[in-house]
Structure 1
Amino acid sequence: MTLRVVVADDQELVRAGFSMILAAQPDIEVVAEAGDGAEAVAAVHQHQPDVVLLDIRMPGMDGIAAARAVCAESGCRAIMLTTFDLDEYVFQALQAGASGFLLKDVRRDDLVHAVRVVAAGEALLSPSVTRKLIARFTARPGQPSPARLAALTARERETLRMMAKGLSNAEIAAVMVVSEHTVKTHVSNVLSKLGLRDRIQALIAAYETGLVVPGVD
Protein backbone atom coordinates (compact mmCIF):
# COMPACT_ATOMS: atom_id res chain seq x y z
CA MET A 1 0.00 0.00 0.00
CA THR A 2 1.28 3.47 -0.90
CA LEU A 3 1.11 6.10 1.84
CA ARG A 4 -0.13 9.50 0.67
CA VAL A 5 1.51 12.52 2.31
CA VAL A 6 1.09 16.30 2.27
CA VAL A 7 4.09 18.42 3.32
CA ALA A 8 3.44 21.92 4.71
CA ASP A 9 6.22 24.40 5.53
CA ASP A 10 6.53 28.09 4.75
CA GLN A 11 10.20 27.68 3.75
CA GLU A 12 10.34 26.33 0.21
CA LEU A 13 13.75 24.67 0.55
CA VAL A 14 12.76 22.90 3.75
CA ARG A 15 9.48 21.80 2.21
CA ALA A 16 11.23 20.52 -0.91
CA GLY A 17 13.82 18.68 1.18
CA PHE A 18 11.24 16.78 3.21
CA SER A 19 9.25 16.02 0.07
CA MET A 20 12.31 14.68 -1.72
CA ILE A 21 13.24 12.40 1.20
CA LEU A 22 9.74 10.97 1.43
CA ALA A 23 9.12 10.68 -2.31
CA ALA A 24 12.28 8.59 -2.64
CA GLN A 25 10.61 5.82 -0.65
CA PRO A 26 8.85 3.11 -2.69
CA ASP A 27 5.82 3.08 -0.37
CA ILE A 28 5.33 6.86 0.02
CA GLU A 29 3.83 9.40 -2.39
CA VAL A 30 3.92 13.14 -1.72
CA VAL A 31 0.58 14.24 -3.19
CA ALA A 32 0.87 17.96 -2.40
CA GLU A 33 2.95 20.69 -0.79
CA ALA A 34 1.66 23.73 1.10
CA GLY A 35 3.21 27.00 2.22
CA ASP A 36 0.89 27.75 5.14
CA GLY A 37 -1.80 26.20 7.30
CA ALA A 38 -4.73 27.21 5.13
CA GLU A 39 -3.12 25.67 2.06
CA ALA A 40 -2.39 22.52 4.07
CA VAL A 41 -6.01 22.14 5.16
CA ALA A 42 -7.18 22.68 1.57
CA ALA A 43 -4.66 20.12 0.29
CA VAL A 44 -5.82 17.55 2.84
CA HIS A 45 -9.44 18.05 1.80
CA GLN A 46 -8.54 17.76 -1.88
CA HIS A 47 -6.11 14.83 -1.78
CA GLN A 48 -7.23 12.88 1.30
CA PRO A 49 -3.68 11.91 2.41
CA ASP A 50 -2.83 9.45 5.16
CA VAL A 51 -0.40 11.84 6.85
CA VAL A 52 0.26 15.58 6.78
CA LEU A 53 3.57 17.07 7.94
CA LEU A 54 2.93 20.49 9.46
CA ASP A 55 5.46 23.14 10.38
CA ILE A 56 4.20 24.72 13.60
CA ARG A 57 5.16 28.31 12.79
CA MET A 58 3.66 29.39 9.47
CA PRO A 59 2.09 32.69 8.38
CA GLY A 60 -1.67 33.08 8.61
CA MET A 61 -3.05 29.82 9.93
CA ASP A 62 -0.23 28.14 11.84
CA GLY A 63 0.43 24.43 12.05
CA ILE A 64 -1.39 23.94 15.33
CA ALA A 65 -4.59 25.51 13.99
CA ALA A 66 -4.23 23.46 10.81
CA ALA A 67 -3.77 20.25 12.83
CA ARG A 68 -6.87 21.05 14.85
CA ALA A 69 -8.91 21.46 11.67
CA VAL A 70 -7.44 18.47 9.87
CA CYS A 71 -7.69 16.02 12.77
CA ALA A 72 -11.26 17.06 13.52
CA GLU A 73 -12.54 16.92 9.94
CA SER A 74 -10.72 14.01 8.31
CA GLY A 75 -9.00 10.73 8.96
CA CYS A 76 -5.62 12.28 8.14
CA ARG A 77 -3.01 12.09 10.87
CA ALA A 78 -0.66 14.99 11.62
CA ILE A 79 3.04 15.10 12.42
CA MET A 80 4.33 18.43 13.69
CA LEU A 81 7.77 19.67 12.60
CA THR A 82 9.59 22.59 14.17
CA THR A 83 13.00 24.03 14.93
CA PHE A 84 11.65 25.23 18.28
CA ASP A 85 11.76 22.64 21.07
CA LEU A 86 9.40 24.62 23.32
CA ASP A 87 7.03 23.25 25.94
CA GLU A 88 3.93 25.18 24.90
CA TYR A 89 4.21 23.98 21.32
CA VAL A 90 4.41 20.36 22.42
CA PHE A 91 1.27 20.41 24.49
CA GLN A 92 -0.74 22.60 22.14
CA ALA A 93 0.12 20.33 19.21
CA LEU A 94 -0.94 17.21 21.09
CA GLN A 95 -4.16 18.85 22.24
CA ALA A 96 -4.83 19.83 18.62
CA GLY A 97 -4.75 16.15 17.71
CA ALA A 98 -1.24 15.66 16.36
CA SER A 99 0.04 12.08 16.41
CA GLY A 100 3.73 12.93 16.18
CA PHE A 101 6.12 15.75 17.03
CA LEU A 102 9.62 15.92 15.58
CA LEU A 103 12.33 18.55 15.40
CA LYS A 104 13.44 19.61 11.92
CA ASP A 105 16.94 18.28 12.48
CA VAL A 106 15.47 14.78 12.55
CA ARG A 107 17.50 12.23 10.56
CA ARG A 108 15.99 11.22 7.24
CA ASP A 109 15.50 7.60 8.34
CA ASP A 110 13.66 8.75 11.46
CA LEU A 111 11.43 11.04 9.39
CA VAL A 112 10.45 8.19 7.09
CA HIS A 113 9.91 5.90 10.07
CA ALA A 114 7.68 8.52 11.72
CA VAL A 115 5.43 8.75 8.68
CA ARG A 116 5.04 4.99 8.51
CA VAL A 117 4.38 4.63 12.24
CA VAL A 118 1.80 7.40 12.36
CA ALA A 119 0.10 6.19 9.17
CA ALA A 120 -0.24 2.77 10.81
CA GLY A 121 -2.30 4.33 13.60
CA GLU A 122 0.40 4.65 16.23
CA ALA A 123 1.72 7.77 17.91
CA LEU A 124 5.31 8.94 17.85
CA LEU A 125 7.23 11.42 19.95
CA SER A 126 10.93 12.10 20.15
CA PRO A 127 12.45 11.30 23.58
CA SER A 128 12.97 14.99 24.35
CA VAL A 129 9.31 15.73 23.63
CA THR A 130 8.16 12.85 25.81
CA ARG A 131 10.27 14.19 28.67
CA LYS A 132 8.73 17.64 28.27
CA LEU A 133 5.22 16.20 28.25
CA ILE A 134 5.86 14.28 31.47
CA ALA A 135 7.49 17.37 32.99
CA ARG A 136 4.31 19.35 32.39
CA PHE A 137 2.29 16.86 34.38
CA THR A 138 4.98 16.73 37.06
CA ALA A 139 4.44 20.45 37.55
CA ARG A 140 0.65 20.22 37.31
CA PRO A 141 -0.47 16.71 38.26
CA GLY A 142 -4.02 15.73 37.42
CA GLN A 143 -6.78 14.87 39.87
CA PRO A 144 -8.43 11.43 40.03
CA SER A 145 -11.50 11.20 37.83
CA PRO A 146 -13.25 7.87 38.54
CA ALA A 147 -16.24 8.76 36.37
CA ARG A 148 -14.10 9.12 33.26
CA LEU A 149 -12.41 5.76 33.81
CA ALA A 150 -15.49 3.91 35.08
CA ALA A 151 -16.03 2.11 31.77
CA LEU A 152 -12.62 0.42 31.97
CA THR A 153 -12.08 -3.00 33.50
CA ALA A 154 -9.30 -3.50 36.03
CA ARG A 155 -7.11 -5.03 33.32
CA GLU A 156 -7.80 -2.12 30.97
CA ARG A 157 -6.90 0.40 33.66
CA GLU A 158 -3.64 -1.39 34.28
CA THR A 159 -2.99 -1.45 30.54
CA LEU A 160 -3.60 2.30 30.37
CA ARG A 161 -1.27 2.85 33.32
CA MET A 162 1.54 0.95 31.60
CA MET A 163 0.87 2.65 28.24
CA ALA A 164 1.32 6.00 29.99
CA LYS A 165 4.63 4.84 31.41
CA GLY A 166 5.85 4.15 27.88
CA LEU A 167 5.73 0.36 27.84
CA SER A 168 5.34 -1.36 24.47
CA ASN A 169 2.71 -4.05 23.87
CA ALA A 170 5.38 -6.73 24.27
CA GLU A 171 6.53 -5.25 27.59
CA ILE A 172 2.96 -4.97 28.86
CA ALA A 173 2.35 -8.59 27.86
CA ALA A 174 5.41 -9.69 29.83
CA VAL A 175 4.26 -7.82 32.96
CA MET A 176 0.70 -9.13 32.72
CA VAL A 177 1.84 -12.60 31.67
CA VAL A 178 -0.55 -12.63 28.70
CA SER A 179 -0.14 -12.71 24.92
CA GLU A 180 0.54 -9.59 22.83
CA HIS A 181 -2.77 -10.25 21.09
CA THR A 182 -4.54 -9.91 24.44
CA VAL A 183 -2.70 -6.66 25.13
CA LYS A 184 -3.68 -5.31 21.71
CA THR A 185 -7.29 -6.07 22.59
CA HIS A 186 -6.95 -4.24 25.93
CA VAL A 187 -5.34 -1.24 24.19
CA SER A 188 -8.09 -1.14 21.58
CA ASN A 189 -10.75 -1.29 24.28
CA VAL A 190 -9.10 1.52 26.25
CA LEU A 191 -8.96 3.82 23.23
CA SER A 192 -12.51 2.97 22.18
CA LYS A 193 -14.14 3.31 25.61
CA LEU A 194 -12.40 6.62 26.38
CA GLY A 195 -12.86 8.03 22.89
CA LEU A 196 -9.10 8.35 22.35
CA ARG A 197 -7.29 8.26 19.01
CA ASP A 198 -3.88 6.89 19.97
CA ARG A 199 -1.31 6.31 22.71
CA ILE A 200 -0.48 10.01 23.03
CA GLN A 201 -4.06 10.83 23.96
CA ALA A 202 -4.04 7.81 26.28
CA LEU A 203 -0.91 9.15 28.01
CA ILE A 204 -2.55 12.55 28.47
CA ALA A 205 -5.75 10.97 29.81
CA ALA A 206 -3.83 8.82 32.29
CA TYR A 207 -2.07 11.86 33.78
CA GLU A 208 -5.08 14.20 33.62
CA THR A 209 -7.27 11.75 35.51
CA GLY A 210 -4.59 11.03 38.09
CA LEU A 211 -4.40 7.34 37.15
CA VAL A 212 -0.65 7.90 36.83
CA VAL A 213 1.02 10.34 39.21
CA PRO A 214 4.43 11.75 38.17
CA GLY A 215 7.24 10.41 40.32
CA VAL A 216 5.14 7.60 41.78
CA ASP A 217 5.68 4.05 40.53
Structure 2
Amino acid sequence: MSISVAFVDDHPILLEGLVSLYSGKSDLEIVAKGENAVDALKIVEEFSPEVLVLDLSMPGDAIAAIELVTQKYKDTRIIVFTANSSIETAIQVLNYGVSGYVLKGSSASDLHEAIRTVYDGETFITAGFATKVIMAMKTAEIRRRSQAQRRLSLREEQIVRHLMRGSTNREIAACLDISEKTVKHYMTVLMQKLDVRNRVEVVLAAQRLDVLPDGSAERSASRRIN
Protein backbone atom coordinates (compact mmCIF):
# COMPACT_ATOMS: atom_id res chain seq x y z
CA MET A 1 0.00 0.00 0.00
CA SER A 2 1.38 3.39 -1.04
CA ILE A 3 1.92 6.26 1.39
CA SER A 4 0.14 9.43 0.29
CA VAL A 5 2.58 12.36 0.34
CA ALA A 6 2.34 16.10 -0.35
CA PHE A 7 5.24 18.52 -0.85
CA VAL A 8 5.18 22.25 -0.07
CA ASP A 9 8.14 24.45 -0.99
CA ASP A 10 8.40 27.92 -2.50
CA HIS A 11 11.33 27.03 -4.78
CA PRO A 12 9.69 25.84 -8.03
CA ILE A 13 12.66 23.88 -9.33
CA LEU A 14 13.17 22.07 -6.04
CA LEU A 15 9.45 21.40 -5.73
CA GLU A 16 9.21 19.93 -9.23
CA GLY A 17 12.35 17.91 -8.56
CA LEU A 18 10.88 16.41 -5.40
CA VAL A 19 7.61 15.53 -7.11
CA SER A 20 9.41 14.01 -10.09
CA LEU A 21 11.89 12.06 -7.98
CA TYR A 22 9.46 10.56 -5.52
CA SER A 23 6.68 9.91 -8.03
CA GLY A 24 8.86 7.08 -9.22
CA LYS A 25 8.81 5.36 -5.82
CA SER A 26 6.43 2.40 -5.80
CA ASP A 27 5.67 2.83 -2.09
CA LEU A 28 4.74 6.53 -2.39
CA GLU A 29 1.83 8.36 -3.98
CA ILE A 30 2.26 12.11 -4.50
CA VAL A 31 -1.20 13.56 -4.01
CA ALA A 32 -0.50 17.31 -4.05
CA LYS A 33 2.07 20.09 -4.07
CA GLY A 34 2.07 23.69 -2.89
CA GLU A 35 4.22 26.79 -2.53
CA ASN A 36 3.26 28.45 0.78
CA ALA A 37 1.71 27.99 4.22
CA VAL A 38 -1.81 28.62 2.93
CA ASP A 39 -1.34 25.92 0.29
CA ALA A 40 -0.18 23.53 3.01
CA LEU A 41 -3.42 23.97 4.95
CA LYS A 42 -5.57 23.66 1.84
CA ILE A 43 -3.77 20.49 0.83
CA VAL A 44 -4.28 18.89 4.22
CA GLU A 45 -7.96 19.83 4.25
CA GLU A 46 -8.60 18.58 0.72
CA PHE A 47 -6.27 15.62 0.27
CA SER A 48 -5.48 14.46 3.83
CA PRO A 49 -1.99 13.25 2.92
CA GLU A 50 -0.50 10.75 5.34
CA VAL A 51 2.79 12.65 5.20
CA LEU A 52 3.23 16.37 4.53
CA VAL A 53 6.76 17.51 3.64
CA LEU A 54 7.16 21.27 3.94
CA ASP A 55 9.81 23.97 4.20
CA LEU A 56 9.87 26.57 6.97
CA SER A 57 11.16 29.45 4.83
CA MET A 58 8.22 30.14 2.55
CA PRO A 59 5.47 32.76 2.25
CA GLY A 60 2.97 32.70 5.09
CA ASP A 61 3.35 31.50 8.66
CA ALA A 62 4.73 27.99 8.38
CA ILE A 63 4.95 27.56 12.16
CA ALA A 64 1.29 28.49 12.61
CA ALA A 65 0.35 26.05 9.84
CA ILE A 66 2.31 23.32 11.58
CA GLU A 67 0.55 24.01 14.88
CA LEU A 68 -2.87 23.85 13.24
CA VAL A 69 -2.18 20.65 11.32
CA THR A 70 -0.72 18.82 14.33
CA GLN A 71 -3.67 19.85 16.49
CA LYS A 72 -6.54 19.43 14.04
CA TYR A 73 -5.38 16.90 11.45
CA LYS A 74 -3.70 14.20 13.49
CA ASP A 75 -3.73 11.65 10.67
CA THR A 76 -1.24 13.78 8.73
CA ARG A 77 2.36 13.52 9.90
CA ILE A 78 4.68 16.43 9.13
CA ILE A 79 8.28 16.40 7.98
CA VAL A 80 10.07 19.74 8.00
CA PHE A 81 12.46 19.77 5.02
CA THR A 82 14.60 22.85 5.44
CA ALA A 83 18.00 24.52 5.26
CA ASN A 84 17.42 25.93 8.75
CA SER A 85 19.90 24.16 11.02
CA SER A 86 18.90 26.09 14.16
CA ILE A 87 18.63 23.66 17.06
CA GLU A 88 16.15 25.97 18.79
CA THR A 89 13.88 25.95 15.73
CA ALA A 90 14.08 22.18 15.44
CA ILE A 91 13.14 21.72 19.10
CA GLN A 92 10.31 24.24 18.73
CA VAL A 93 8.62 22.43 15.84
CA LEU A 94 9.27 18.99 17.32
CA ASN A 95 7.50 20.16 20.47
CA TYR A 96 4.59 21.28 18.27
CA GLY A 97 4.24 17.70 17.04
CA VAL A 98 6.38 17.55 13.90
CA SER A 99 7.48 13.96 13.22
CA GLY A 100 10.56 14.64 11.12
CA TYR A 101 13.25 17.28 10.67
CA VAL A 102 15.35 16.77 7.54
CA LEU A 103 18.02 19.24 6.47
CA LYS A 104 18.26 20.16 2.81
CA GLY A 105 21.47 18.73 1.54
CA SER A 106 20.50 15.29 2.79
CA SER A 107 20.38 12.49 0.25
CA ALA A 108 17.22 11.48 -1.57
CA SER A 109 17.31 8.18 0.28
CA ASP A 110 17.37 10.03 3.62
CA LEU A 111 14.15 11.89 2.83
CA HIS A 112 12.59 8.68 1.54
CA GLU A 113 13.56 6.94 4.79
CA ALA A 114 12.15 9.88 6.77
CA ILE A 115 8.79 9.55 5.00
CA ARG A 116 8.60 5.84 5.76
CA THR A 117 9.78 6.35 9.34
CA VAL A 118 7.21 9.00 10.28
CA TYR A 119 4.47 7.05 8.50
CA ASP A 120 5.28 4.17 10.88
CA GLY A 121 4.73 6.51 13.81
CA GLU A 122 8.36 7.19 14.66
CA THR A 123 10.50 10.34 14.60
CA PHE A 124 13.22 11.04 12.05
CA ILE A 125 15.94 13.70 12.36
CA THR A 126 18.87 14.09 10.00
CA ALA A 127 21.84 12.06 11.26
CA GLY A 128 24.46 14.15 13.03
CA PHE A 129 22.04 17.00 13.58
CA ALA A 130 19.86 14.61 15.59
CA THR A 131 22.59 14.23 18.22
CA LYS A 132 22.77 17.98 18.74
CA VAL A 133 18.99 18.28 19.03
CA ILE A 134 18.72 15.40 21.50
CA MET A 135 21.54 16.78 23.66
CA ALA A 136 19.94 20.23 23.68
CA MET A 137 16.57 18.73 24.68
CA LYS A 138 18.19 16.72 27.47
CA THR A 139 20.00 19.82 28.74
CA ALA A 140 16.75 21.79 28.73
CA GLU A 141 14.99 18.99 30.63
CA ILE A 142 17.77 18.84 33.24
CA ARG A 143 17.55 22.60 33.65
CA ARG A 144 13.77 22.39 34.01
CA ARG A 145 13.99 19.67 36.64
CA SER A 146 16.69 21.57 38.51
CA GLN A 147 14.48 24.66 38.51
CA ALA A 148 11.53 22.62 39.75
CA GLN A 149 13.61 21.23 42.60
CA ARG A 150 14.38 24.77 43.70
CA ARG A 151 10.72 25.60 44.14
CA LEU A 152 10.01 26.52 47.72
CA SER A 153 7.44 25.18 50.13
CA LEU A 154 4.88 27.58 51.57
CA ARG A 155 6.85 27.93 54.81
CA GLU A 156 10.11 28.47 52.91
CA GLU A 157 8.42 31.20 50.87
CA GLN A 158 7.31 32.89 54.08
CA ILE A 159 10.84 32.76 55.48
CA VAL A 160 12.30 34.26 52.29
CA ARG A 161 9.73 37.05 52.25
CA HIS A 162 10.70 38.00 55.78
CA LEU A 163 14.37 37.87 54.87
CA MET A 164 13.66 40.30 52.04
CA ARG A 165 12.25 42.71 54.62
CA GLY A 166 15.46 42.44 56.62
CA SER A 167 13.86 40.54 59.52
CA THR A 168 16.01 38.72 62.07
CA ASN A 169 15.49 35.08 62.98
CA ARG A 170 13.78 36.16 66.22
CA GLU A 171 11.43 38.50 64.33
CA ILE A 172 10.64 35.79 61.78
CA ALA A 173 9.92 33.30 64.57
CA ALA A 174 7.58 35.72 66.32
CA CYS A 175 5.75 36.61 63.10
CA LEU A 176 5.24 32.98 62.04
CA ASP A 177 4.66 31.69 65.57
CA ILE A 178 7.50 29.18 65.38
CA SER A 179 10.73 28.77 67.34
CA GLU A 180 14.04 30.37 66.41
CA LYS A 181 15.43 26.84 66.15
CA THR A 182 12.85 26.06 63.49
CA VAL A 183 13.75 29.24 61.60
CA LYS A 184 17.42 28.20 61.69
CA HIS A 185 16.45 24.78 60.35
CA TYR A 186 14.61 26.37 57.42
CA MET A 187 17.58 28.66 56.80
CA THR A 188 19.83 25.59 56.49
CA VAL A 189 17.36 23.93 54.12
CA LEU A 190 17.11 27.10 52.01
CA MET A 191 20.88 27.48 51.74
CA GLN A 192 21.22 23.85 50.63
CA LYS A 193 18.34 24.07 48.16
CA LEU A 194 19.59 27.30 46.60
CA ASP A 195 23.26 26.31 46.90
CA VAL A 196 24.28 29.47 48.78
CA ARG A 197 26.25 30.25 51.95
CA ASN A 198 24.29 32.83 53.93
CA ARG A 199 20.96 34.64 54.33
CA VAL A 200 21.91 37.47 51.97
CA GLU A 201 22.70 35.00 49.22
CA VAL A 202 19.38 33.23 49.90
CA VAL A 203 17.54 36.46 49.07
CA LEU A 204 19.67 37.13 45.98
CA ALA A 205 19.25 33.56 44.72
CA ALA A 206 15.49 33.61 45.28
CA GLN A 207 15.18 36.82 43.26
CA ARG A 208 17.58 35.75 40.54
CA LEU A 209 16.05 32.29 40.05
CA ASP A 210 12.48 33.50 40.53
CA VAL A 211 11.81 30.55 42.84
CA LEU A 212 8.87 32.36 44.40
CA PRO A 213 5.72 31.85 42.25
CA ASP A 214 3.60 34.55 40.63
CA GLY A 215 6.22 37.26 40.99
CA SER A 216 6.00 37.20 44.81
CA ALA A 217 9.74 37.80 45.05
CA GLU A 218 9.36 41.08 43.22
CA ARG A 219 6.36 42.10 45.33
CA SER A 220 8.17 41.30 48.58
CA ALA A 221 11.25 43.21 47.47
CA SER A 222 9.03 46.15 46.55
CA ARG A 223 7.42 46.13 50.01
CA ARG A 224 10.86 46.06 51.67
CA ILE A 225 12.09 49.03 49.62
CA ASN A 226 8.93 51.01 50.23
TM-score category of the 2 structures, normalised to the smaller one: 0.5 to 0.7
Deviation sequence 1:193-212 (CA, Å, 0-9, x none): xxxxxxxxxxxxxxxxxxxx
- Establish whether residue 68 from structure 1 lines up as the match of residue 67 from structure 2: yes
- Taking CA–CA contacts closer than 8 Å with sequence separation of 6 or more, which of the two structures ends up with the larger relative contact order? 1
- Residue 46 of structure 1: aligned partner: 46
- Residue 103 of structure 2: aligned partner: 103
Q: Give SS of 1:127's match.
A: coil
TM-score w.r.t. the length of structure 1 is 0.62
Percent of residue pairs identical: 29
Structure 1 position 52, deviation (Å): 0.1
Distance 1:139-1:119 versus aligned 2 partners, 3 A rule: closer
- Residue 187 of structure 1: aligned partner: none
Q: How many residues align?
A: 145
Deviation sequence 1:35-55 (CA, Å, 0-9, x none): 011111110110011000010
- Residue 91 of structure 1: aligned partner: 91
Structure 1 position 110, deviation (Å): 1.3
- Residue 79 of structure 2: aligned partner: 79
User: Aligned equivalents of 2:17 and 2:65: distance in 1?
Assistant: 21
Structure 1 position 137, deviation (Å): 3.5
Structure 1 position 119, deviation (Å): 0.9
User: Aligned equivalents of 1:46 and 1:71: distance in 2?
Assistant: 16
**Which of 142, 145, 165 is 1:143 aligned to?**
145
User: Which stretches in structure 1 are left out of the alignment for 5+ residues?
Assistant: 146-217
Structure 1 position 139, deviation (Å): 4.3
- Residue 26 of structure 1: aligned partner: 26
2:101/2:124 contact within 8 Å kept: yes
Deviation sequence 1:137-195 (CA, Å, 0-9, x none): 454323188xxxxxxxxxxxxxxxxxxxxxxxxxxxxxxxxxxxxxxxxxxxxxxxxxx
User: Which stretches in structure 2 are left out of the alignment for 5+ residues?
Assistant: 149-226
TM-score w.r.t. the length of structure 2 is 0.60
2:80/2:100 contact within 8 Å kept: yes
- Residue 185 of structure 2: aligned partner: none
User: Aligned equivalents of 1:76 and 1:98: distance in 2?
Assistant: 10
1:90/1:129 contact within 8 Å kept: no
- Establish whether residue 118 from structure 1 lines up as the match of residue 126 from structure 2: no
1:100/1:123 contact within 8 Å kept: yes
User: Aligned equivalents of 1:60 and 1:28: distance in 2?
Assistant: 27
Structure 1 position 132, deviation (Å): 2.3
User: Aligned equivalents of 1:79 and 1:95: distance in 2?
Assistant: 13
User: Aligned equivalents of 1:130 and 1:31: distance in 2?
Assistant: 29
Deviation sequence 1:81-114 (CA, Å, 0-9, x none): 1112112221111022110000111111111111
2:91/2:137 contact within 8 Å kept: no
- Structure with the higher fraction of residues in helix conformation: 2
User: Aligned equivalents of 1:104 and 1:137: distance in 2?
Assistant: 22
